[in-house]
Chains A and B, each alone.
Chain A
Amino acid sequence: MSVAVNGNASSSGWQGQYYHIDQVLDRPGPRTDPSFLAGDGVKDFLRNQCKILVIGAGGLGCEILANLALSGFKDIHVIDMDTIDISNLNRQFLFRPKDVGNPKATVAAEFVMNRVPGVKVTPYYGKIQDKDEDYYMQFNLVICGLDSVEARRWINATLVNMVDPENPESLKPLIDGGTEGFKGQARVILPTITSCYECSLDMLNKQTAFPICTIANTPRLPEHCIEWASVLEWPRVFKDKKMDTDDPEHINWLYNTASKRAKEFNIEGVTWSLTQGVVKNIIPAIASTNAIIAASCCNEAFKIATSSAAYLNNYFMLIGTEGVYSYTFEHEKRDDCPVCGGQTMDITISRDWTVDRLIEMLVERQDIQIKKPSLSTPTKQIYFQAPPQLEEATRPNLEKKLSELVDDGGEMTVTATSLPFSLSIRVKYT
């Protein structure tokens, strides 16, 4: 163990610091690609040149930052728009009770720089959407540890859009991780080359949505009573006052309101914890799964940055509820992916469908999921969600049949302000 190895000690480093890592950087393994240049060259790139961006400083982000720092990445940037909550402390191990209320990105960056000398972590407390292409262009790699689908779609589309075939440097590998309880996944996306995040949108678990008529008229489960309180009663009682699911007073009101309704209908099981779980759509999260998935992501980043072993092609899935089960496979690119596919998506609907009905479908469909879509053809504005004047002007179209506005086989463009891309669809009528 105590054999000193000729690591290239930089100013802040020490002899032996990279004893462990250098074992895989000083020589190839049996499966290592012949292009791997063992030794000083690869170490120099990893430790002195490579710049990596971590999106999210939460459950996965804390783990990712620590792993990267120990692996020898020295120029790390991190973006997160959240502040620390007490419920983060069971897994986000860079935070302490005294940090509650402070920005995650800043606290995490400080912690890692203190713990691992010689590493520079640059935090940004804000949204990924605040940054432009020039900002993202400076990195060699991007790792995403987010719980938001919307944010992932945004960064995915941004990185795909950035690819300039003339400039290989513009292709930024994106490594994405996600967890839910004992389950998780890690994947490598090479924008425009492999399947992208948008390509696999239909793999997301569908959120359980209860029909409004059940909530309003025939509640059977405690969840129905909670939805009634949050979806129907809150707006009725408080009008325009926005519900804040992080405000205990608000949860308390919802809990009491749901309890009253449950009692009225003889429904059992409304609890504070369930109320909070339903209205915040809480996903169970534990340190161990985050550790596994974050390690998988960082391992891929390390392999890509050093070529010391082949990187993942392209999807790793883990289920830890019954023993340990994992599955590695190649997720296929979708030709009609609105981000990386280039082909128009064909949809077939009834001639009687109104524009409103079509919008409902665009929101619902697993492979589309566009929350507030605006629709237009090359010559017509069909419906626009914003600005208000345009929304008002196009609103009457909602009730009209689409077949009156768009011919059979006609093309339409769907956009949403939350997404930096548009979807081209070709409509066919039955």
Chain B
Amino acid sequence: MSAAASESQDIETVTTAVSTNPGRRGQPDNKTRRYDRQLRLWAATGQAALESSRILVIGASATSTSILKNLVLPGIGHFTILDHHSVTPEDAGNNFFLEGPKSIGKRRADEAVRLLAELNDSVEGRADHRNVEEVLNSNPQYFLEFNVVIAHNMQPALVDKLAKYLWSEPSHPIMMVVRSAGFVSEFFIQFHEHSIIESHSETTPSLRIDKPFPELHAHAMSIDFEKMDPTEHAHVPYVVILVSALEDWKKSHGGNPPKTYAEKQQFKKRIQGMRRKPDEENFEEAEAQAYRAWTETTVPSEISALFKDSGLSSLTPSSPPFFQLLSALQKFTQESPHTLPLTSTLPDMRSDTKSYIHLQTLYKRQAEEEKAKFKSLISEDVRETIGDEMIDLFVKNAHALVVMRGREWGSFDQDRAALAMDPSGKETAKLATHLAFSALSSLTLQHQTPTVAALKAEVERIAGTDVELPEEQLDAAVGEVARAPTADLPNMAAFLGGMVAQETIKMITRQYVPQKGYLVIDMVDMWTGAVGA
């Protein structure tokens, strides 16, 4: 704690030093420098979310400490390790966050917390020596102090009980269940609903070339290609060329854009014909981007699907901000021109500075106008509680919003129909591996030795007769589990450490898109795959 205070003081000193020197405005403080490489992925908003998060990890196994390492380094707010065990010689051999023989016999939670906390002074770490079973029985509310609860190779009965409790209320923490045995593993994220504004999707929003807003239309119409000098002509942005060419086309085609393949080719020919010289790159770009002229700008199907989400149909003033905004978005799209609010981000294109900046200004102005209209569709008090920053982000990312609905831990295994649906062709290996883990858990519960025969019988019992798993793949999965049922291999621990931390970061920051269902990992043949999504 004291170390954390000294770091924040450091940052303050640095910041003050910066502000007194006008020549150095904008220069980053120590914290920004430390986190520079990750801020380029999730920015200050994601970082703030991480810094206010509280994570509980049950049991300081090698996998658990690997996961925590990758959460402490980027700077979560707090972590607790709940573990009543002492370090065994076996633990000391595979866990980097224990000090070999020196740690043997000491409390595992203490040792792991001490060595993990070293990684980042601004993270608070706590060791809790109580038995998870006792806590679960006597004081389950304890788990509600956290945002995420992570359990690796936890006793199956306790996993089920804890998962059930955490699932009982949608506001309860997210749970990550991780199971590994030698070269194979899987993890599952239990959550009710997860909405994402900043999905960092690679799809780009429409530039509305087919439905130009009045100022864009007027600007394109004002361009007289004939009268331009050669340099100007070679620098007209492709957006303007396309709007102009489309307008022209529509005049001779009953107001319609190019529709058939032949018409589209003809339209491209026209653009070629507008060139003065064969090497005008702006016209080359216009030709390459011609599809934008005949692709109708509508609400993308992924987004209109969200308008049918249960979060909207059950909307109340106390619903989460995301759904308040989604409701406003739906209203927005119901009015002409039946599109999402315009984006103000214009891609780079061949142009001179003046023409480009002018075009950018037109887009920005229109985007501001549409954002104002969007805001007017949100009630005053809701708008105040949400704040402008989130509204701006929402509008900017309206084309890539995501709502995910998860399922309860264990429900997939009881869904015979879903199990039977899942496997097809090569995909069966991941289902076989998942079922091998379910079988291992179930045998552990019955205090039976996980032999190949016992595991196979158990897989059959769980999956029923409708699931047809090729013998070869079932043998491969079950055999690998039976080979090393309690092995927490350093490389698998490190691999899972990266994967589970990455998905936890996505859940906490609400950026990027997390994995649904079980993610199954096989480090013999090096593959990963999802089942039960």
Q: Which residues of A contact B (CB under 8 A)?
A: 1-2, 4, 14-21, 23-24, 27-31, 63, 66-67, 70-71, 86-87, 89-91, 93, 96-97, 115-117, 181-182, 186, 217-221, 248, 252, 255-256, 265-267, 271-273, 276-277, 282-296, 298-300, 302, 309-310, 312, 316, 318, 320-326, 328
Bound: A276/B39 CA distance, A: 13
A331 to chain B, nearest CB (A): 14
Bound: A90/B199 CA distance, A: 23
Contact A328 B527 (CB under 8 A): yes
Contact B88 A2 (CB under 8 A): yes
**Across the interface, which residues of B come within 8 angstroms of A63, CB to CB?**
494
Contact A70 B38 (CB under 8 A): no
User: Among the listed stretches B253-261, B307-315, B325-333, B497-505, which one makes contact with chain A, having 4 or more residues with CB under 8 Å of it?
Assistant: B497-505
A179's nearest neighbour on chain B, judged by CB, is B498
Contact B74 A323 (CB under 8 A): no
B356's nearest neighbour on chain A, judged by CB, is A220
Q: Which residues of B contact A (CB under 8 A)?
A: 23-24, 26-28, 30, 32-41, 62, 66, 69-70, 73-75, 88-90, 92-96, 99-101, 104, 118-121, 182-183, 199-201, 235, 348-349, 351-353, 356-357, 475-476, 479-480, 483-495, 497-499, 501-503, 505, 512-516, 519, 523-528, 530
Contact B94 A286 (CB under 8 A): no
A203 to chain B, nearest CB (A): 18
Bound: A1/B93 CA distance, A: 13
Contact A273 B36 (CB under 8 A): yes
Among candidates A66, A116, A252, A277, residue contacting B27 with C-beta atoms closer than 8 Å: A252
A321-B200 CB under 8 A given contacts A288-B498, A326-B527: yes
Contact A326 B101 (CB under 8 A): no
Given contacts A218-B353, A289-B498, 18 further A-B contacts (CB under 8 A): A17-B90, A23-B485, A29-B480, A71-B489, A71-B490, A93-B119, A115-B100, A186-B526, A218-B352, A220-B351, A271-B26, A272-B26, A286-B37, A287-B73, A295-B495, A299-B492, A320-B502, A324-B519
B407 to chain A, nearest CB (A): 15
Contact B502 A288 (CB under 8 A): yes
**Across the interface, which residues of A come within 8 angstroms of B93, CB to CB?**
14, 16-21, 70
Contact A296 B495 (CB under 8 A): yes
Bound: A265/B33 CA distance, A: 29
Contact B89 A24 (CB under 8 A): no
A205 to chain B, nearest CB (A): 14
**Across the interface, which residues of B come within 8 angstroms of A4, CB to CB?**
89
**Across the interface, which residues of A come within 8 angstroms of B24, CB to CB?**
252
B464 to chain A, nearest CB (A): 24
**Across the interface, which residues of A come within 8 angstroms of B41, CB to CB?**
181-182, 284, 286
**Across the interface, which residues of B come within 8 angstroms of A323, CB to CB?**
513-516, 519, 530
Contact A90 B483 (CB under 8 A): no
B465 to chain A, nearest CB (A): 23
Contact A23 B483 (CB under 8 A): yes
Bound: A19/B484 CA distance, A: 10
**Across the interface, which residues of A come within 8 angstroms of B100, CB to CB?**
14, 115-117
20 sampled A-B residue pairs with Cβ under 8 A: A20-B490, A23-B483, A29-B524, A66-B494, A116-B100, A117-B100, A248-B27, A252-B24, A265-B353, A267-B353, A284-B38, A287-B501, A288-B70, A292-B494, A298-B491, A320-B499, A323-B513, A323-B516, A323-B519, A326-B528
Contact B512 A322 (CB under 8 A): yes
Contact B348 A70 (CB under 8 A): no
A317 to chain B, nearest CB (A): 10
**Across the interface, which residues of A come within 8 angstroms of B94, CB to CB?**
19-21, 70
A67-B119 CB under 8 A given contacts A19-B90, A288-B502, A326-B528: no
A218-B526 CB under 8 A given contacts A14-B92, A70-B94: no
B475's nearest neighbour on chain A, judged by CB, is A30
Among candidates A218, A272, A288, A309, residue contacting B505 with C-beta atoms closer than 8 Å: A288
A292-B89 CB under 8 A given contacts A89-B34, A116-B100: no
B161 to chain A, nearest CB (A): 21
A70-B183 CB under 8 A given contacts A286-B41, A287-B501: no
Contact A322 B513 (CB under 8 A): yes
**Across the interface, which residues of A come within 8 angstroms of B101, CB to CB?**
14, 117
Among candidates A31, A87, A97, A325, residue contacting B476 with C-beta atoms closer than 8 Å: A31
A249's nearest neighbour on chain B, judged by CB, is B24
**Across the interface, which residues of B come within 8 angstroms of A277, CB to CB?**
40
A59's nearest neighbour on chain B, judged by CB, is B37
Contact A29 B530 (CB under 8 A): no
B90's nearest neighbour on chain A, judged by CB, is A19
